[in-house]
Amino acid sequence: MVDLASTPKPAPDAAIETAAETAPAPLPGTSAVRKPPTTLERMFRHRGLTIGAVLVGTVIFVALFAPLIAPHDPYAQDLTRRLIPPVWYEKGSWSHIFGTDNLGRDYFSRTLYGAQIALLIGFSVMILSGFIGSALGLVAGYFGGKVDMVVTFFITTRLAMPVVLVALAVVAMIGSSLFVVIAVLGLLKWDRFAVVMRSATMQVRSQEYVSAAQAAGASTWRIVTGEILPNVMPHLIVVATVEAGSAILLEAALSFLGLGVQPPLPSWGLMISEAKNFMFFSFWLIAIPGTALALLVLGVNLLGDGLRDVFAPGGRS
């Protein structure tokens, strides 16, 4: 996930200049001034961001340690113990906290392992599409002119294609697997990265420090990596979180339609799909993975919104 600690240095709120000039004289009446909050402090104060981070953090923790936490093998079927309700029902038992599904598999274990699939897809799609989109956006924003026209044409073309329909078509043609889902979504969902990076790069490109670096004889590579990238990073991080959440939802949708991850993998979307025949008598089968999915996507979006708020007022960039 986004490494909060490595975001560029805490930039104090620059709205009020408290810096002492080189004058030796002490400034009167400045003792009562509280230090402006650092980016990290602002993050902790932001409630949405904190909730989002806790939600996502929990899911990451669960995904990483699923083999240690899960009480049962998520694939082990036991047809004698089908559709046992969760522990909070009268007939539930502590041996299957979330009950079992129609094949008698432990639903708690499957939900835990489902977090792995969700995050794997979210991350992989984010990285693949993020790489394609940011590269296109950076190139378009930096070079402008004809290059920009070509990239903009690509973006518009891409935006004209409905993601779900194209994904359905591709999967229908070449068959579906985890890898195919990641590849299809990753190759389709780069548009927002490209749009945001293009405009962010254009904005940074027009700053005088980029001209200064050019006048210093710096190469294009040095300017892009040293001057532009660090300053568009906040935008990139925000888009990346939001896109990861949307990729997770899309995977669930594809899996629900039977065109995503294939059984018996414990994908949350697939679990919902498998549960739909039993939803009237065993409501938990659909409610549990549904809740998990909703909480994760909510967490990711809160995190993205929060990061946007925290980065926005920082520095006069």
Partner 1 sequence: MSGPVLEVEDLTVTIATPTGPLQAVRGISFDIRRGESVCLVGESGCGKSMTSLAIMGLLPPAAKRGAKRLAFAGEDLAKASARRINELRGDRMAMIFQEPMTALNPAYTIGDQLIEVHRRHKQQGERIARERAVYLLEKVGIASAAERLGQYPHQLSGGLRQRVMIAMSLMCEPDLLIADEPTTALDVTIQAQILRLLADLQKEFGVALLLITHDLGVVARVADRVNVMYAGEIVESAKVADLFAKPSHPYTRGLLDCIPIPGKTAPGEELGTIPGTVPSLIGGIEGCAFMGRCPLAQGVCARGAPLRHANETHAYRCIVEAA
Partner 2 sequence: MSTTVSTLLEMRGVTRTFQVSQGLFARSRTLQAVDGVDLDVKRGEVLGIVGESGCGKSTLAKMLLGLLPPSSGTIRLEGEDVSELPRRELARRVQPVFQDPYSSLNPRRTLASIVSLPLEVQGVGAEERRERSIAMLDKVGLPRRFADNYPSQLSGGQRQRVAIARALVSNPEIVVCDEPTSALDVSVQSQILNLLMELRRELGLTYVFISHNLAVVEHIATRVAVMYLGRVVEQTTTAELFRAPRHPYTGVLLASVLTPEPGLGVPDAGMSAVPPDPLNPPPGCRFNPRCPRAFAPCTTQDPRLVSDGEAAVACHLYTQPQNAAA
Q: Which residues bind partner 1 (CB under 8 A)?
A: 13, 15-23, 25-30, 32-37
**Residue 158's closest CA among 200, 126, 127, 129?**
129
Judged by beta carbon distances under 5 to 8 A according to partner kind, the member of partner 1, partner 2, none in contact with residue 218 is partner 2
- How far apart are alpha carbons 305 and 317 in whole angstroms? 19
Shortest Cβ distance from residue 301 to partner 2 (Å)? 26
Helix residue spans in the chain (DSSP H): 39-45, 47-64, 66-69, 107-143, 145-159, 163-174, 178-188, 191-205, 208-215, 220-222, 229-256, 268-275, 284-311
Judged by beta carbon distances under 5 to 8 A according to partner kind, the member of partner 2, partner 1, none in contact with residue 316 is partner 2
Q: Rank residues 39 and 273 by Cβ distance to partner 2 and give the closer one.
A: 39
CB 249 within 8 A of CB 273: no
- How far apart are alpha carbons 275 and 49 in whole angstroms? 33
Q: Rank residues 12 and 258 by Cβ distance to partner 1 and give the closer one.
A: 12
DSSP assignment letter at 98? T
Peptide linkage before 264 cis (omega within 30 of 0): yes
How buried is 152 (Cβ within 10 angstroms: 0-12 exposed, 13-18 middle, 19+ buried)? middle
Is residue 212 involved in binding partner 2 (CB under 8 A)? yes
Angle, helices 178-188/229-256, rounded to nearest 10 degrees? 130
Judged by beta carbon distances under 5 to 8 A according to partner kind, the member of partner 1, partner 2, none in contact with residue 26 is partner 1
* Residues in contact with 312: Cβ distance below 8 Å, sequence separation at least 6, in sequence order: none
Q: Which of 19, 68, 79, 173 binds partner 2 (CB under 8 A)?
A: 19
Segment near partner 2 (CB under 8 A); pick from 112-120, 131-139, 220-228, 296-304: 220-228
| Helix/strand/coil for 31 | coil
Is residue 5 involved in binding partner 2 (CB under 8 A)? no
Is residue 315 involved in binding partner 2 (CB under 8 A)? yes
Q: Rank residues 20 and 54 by Cβ distance to partner 2 and give the closer one.
A: 20
Report the DSSP beta bridge partners of residue 106. 100
By CB under 8 A, what part of segment 224-243 binds partner 2? 226-227, 230-231
Q: Rank residues 13 and 305 by Cβ distance to partner 1 and give the closer one.
A: 13
Judged by beta carbon distances under 5 to 8 A according to partner kind, the member of partner 2, partner 1, none in contact with residue 65 is none
Segment near partner 2 (CB under 8 A); pick from 27-35, 60-68, 178-186, 223-231: 223-231
Segment near partner 2 (CB under 8 A); pick from 13-21, 163-171, 247-255, 272-280: 13-21
Report the DSSP beta bridge partners of residue 93. 96
Q: Rank residues 136 and 228 by Cβ distance to partner 2 and give the closer one.
A: 228
Which residues are at the interface with partner 2 (CB under 8 A)? 8-9, 11-12, 14, 17, 19, 21-22, 207-209, 211-219, 222, 226-227, 230-231, 315-317
